[in-house]
């Protein structure tokens, strides 16, 4: 009697696993992964083995040959049900696990891309504000430059340097505002956005100043 109860309980457990697998089959990300069909087929065969295993407890079923306590029943249970079922299950898991890892990596890559896009959105919004503030400052600085030229308040070399500073700052701000990603680089004060990544280096304004002289 105890054997029957244990075998029935085992059949219910395996049946519950199959029910869960079939229910999860509606999720395309899982059911379309290679090896899924092997896993389902393997559990179905194991379930078949657990069901037919119950029948060997009833001698009156021997007349049906394929069930009861017969050699055919033993073959179906142990070879077709358990052996072939576990073999398909092993093949399915072997095919399925690498794909699960690839799927997890793909999900992580999508998450990283989304985070990167959010960072770029925040950066662009910040840079629009910074550009507005700095452009106002540069415009005032240009007015100061024009006034200094009219009054000869500064040497020509100083005016060239001032113009170079204005142009250099405006160029770097534009590059920072046009970034489509947020590459980073290490500087003395920590990590900052590498706005020069993938762009030709600007001529240093000190070099311009030296050429002007």
Alpha-carbon distance 182 to 177, whole Å? 11
Stretch 20-25: mean pLDDT:
81
Residues 86, 100, single domain; the answer is yes
Helix (H) or strand (E) holding 112: helix 84-150
User: Phi and psi dihedrals of 2, rounded to 5?
Assistant: -65, -40
Last residue of a domain, one of 109, 138, 173: 109
Residues 15, 59, single domain; the answer is yes
Q: Is residue 97's pLDDT more than 90?
A: no
Residues 68, 125, single domain; the answer is no
Instruction: Quote the mean pLDDT of the chain.
Output: 78
Q: What would the pLDDT profile of 176-196 be if each residue is shown by its tens digit?
A: 767 666 667 777 666 666 666
Residues 78, 14, single domain; the answer is yes
Q: What would the pLDDT profile of 70-86 be if each residue is shown by its tens digit?
A: 888 889 989 999 999 99
The residue segments making up the domain with residue 46 are 2-109
Residues 94, 9, single domain; the answer is yes
pLDDT bracket for residue 204 (50, 70, 90) = very low
Query: How many domains is the chain built from?
Result: 2
Q: What percent of the chain has pLDDT over 70?
A: 80
Last residue of a domain, one of 109, 124, 147: 109
In degrees, rounded to 5, the angle at the alpha carbon of residue 61 between the alpha carbons of residues 58 and 65 is 130
Residues 119, 202, single domain; the answer is yes
Q: What would the pLDDT profile of 52-64 be if each residue is shown by its tens digit?
A: 888 888 877 778 8
Residues 33, 93, single domain; the answer is yes
Residues 104, 12, single domain; the answer is yes
Token digits of residue 32: 């379309």
- What pLDDT does residue 205 have? 39
Residues 83, 122, single domain; the answer is no
Residues 73, 121, single domain; the answer is no
Alpha-carbon distance 99 to 97, whole Å? 5
Percent helix, strand and coil across the chain, each to the nearest 5: 75, 5, 20
Last residue of a domain, one of 45, 74, 109: 109
Against a cut of 0.75, is the pTM above it?
Answer: no
In degrees, rounded to 5, the angle at the alpha carbon of residue 145 between the alpha carbons of residues 143 and 150 is 95
Residues 104, 7, single domain; the answer is yes
Residues 10, 30, single domain; the answer is yes
């Amino acid at each position: 009697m105890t054997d029957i109860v244990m075998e029935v309980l085992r059949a219910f457990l395996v049946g519950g696993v199959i029910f869960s697998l079939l229910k999860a089959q509606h999720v395309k990300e899982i059911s379309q992964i290679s090896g899924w069909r092997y896993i389902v087929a393997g559990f179905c065969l194991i379930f078949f083995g657990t069901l037919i295993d119950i029948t060997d407890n009833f001698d009156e079923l021997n007349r049906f040959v394929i069930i009861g306590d017969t050699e055919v029943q033993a073959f179906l249970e142990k070879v077709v049900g358990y052996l072939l079922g576990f073999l398909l299950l092993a093949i399915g898991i072997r095919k399925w696990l690498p794909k699960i890892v690839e799927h997890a990596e793909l999900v992580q890559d999508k998450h990283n891309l989304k985070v990167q896009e959010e960072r770029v959105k925040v950066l662009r919004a910040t840079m629009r504000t910074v550009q507005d503030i700095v452009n106002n400052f540069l415009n005032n600085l240009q007015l100061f430059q024009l006034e200094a030229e009219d009054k000869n308040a500064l040497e020509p070399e100083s005016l060239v340097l001032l113009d170079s500073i204005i142009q250099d700052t405006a160029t770097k701000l534009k590059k920072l505002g046009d970034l489509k990603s947020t590459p980073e680089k290490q500087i003395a004060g920590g990590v900052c956005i590498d706005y020069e990544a993938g762009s030709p280096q600007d001529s240093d304004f000190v070099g311009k100043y030296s050429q002007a002289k």
